[in-house]
Amino acid sequence: MTVTIPLTILDLHDDGFHPLLDIQLFGRAYTVVLDTGASKTAFDKTLLQAHDDLLIMASDKLSTGLGTNDMESFTAIISNMQIGGLLIPRFEVAVLDLSAINIAYRQLNHPEILGVLGGDILMKYKAVIDYGKRVIKFRT
């Protein structure tokens, strides 16, 4: 089965583009950046901490990317994330402090993001990104 999800392409004015998509998590809608360069899906620690029933665990791995290689990182097990018609029952995410990204987004009048959807999900669900049509397709 193929699930097609619309993308919003965010123009960062002389600094490229970020493809955004909406997800459902904890009964709420969030926006994430589609990041083909991220090996793992990563969500913002501050936003996840608002959900008391979610266990966030310290990780001994150092996060690379985001302009640093020594950012403290955590992990969490996410249940029942929905991307359009695609239900992902359970997977592990990196949990990072992404507040600097959200501050920059707010200064540019862009929506706050939960985090980045990375290569782990893209590979598992055989994602195909079509920038021309502004969609991403997942296969289950």
**How large is the C-alpha radius of gyration of the chain?**
15
Reported as type and span, the H/E element at residue 45 is helix 45-49
How much is the pLDDT for 67?
47
Q: 2-139 belongs to which homologous superfamily?
A: Acid Proteases (2.40.70.10)
How much is the pLDDT for 51?
83
Whether 3 and 84 have beta carbons less than 8 Å apart is answered as yes
What percent helix, strand, coil does the chain show, rounded to 5?
15, 50, 35
How much is the pLDDT for 42?
95
pTM of this prediction exceeds 0.85: yes
How much is the pLDDT for 60?
72
- Can you give the residue ranges of every domain in the chain? 2-139
Phi-psi region of 94 (alpha: psi -120 to 50; beta: other; left: phi over 0): beta
| Full pLDDT tens readout for the chain, 140 residues | 999 999 999 887 777 889 999 999 999 999 999 999 999 999 999 999 888 788 899 987 655 554 445 567 899 999 999 999 999 999 999 999 999 888 888 888 888 999 999 999 999 999 999 999 999 999 98
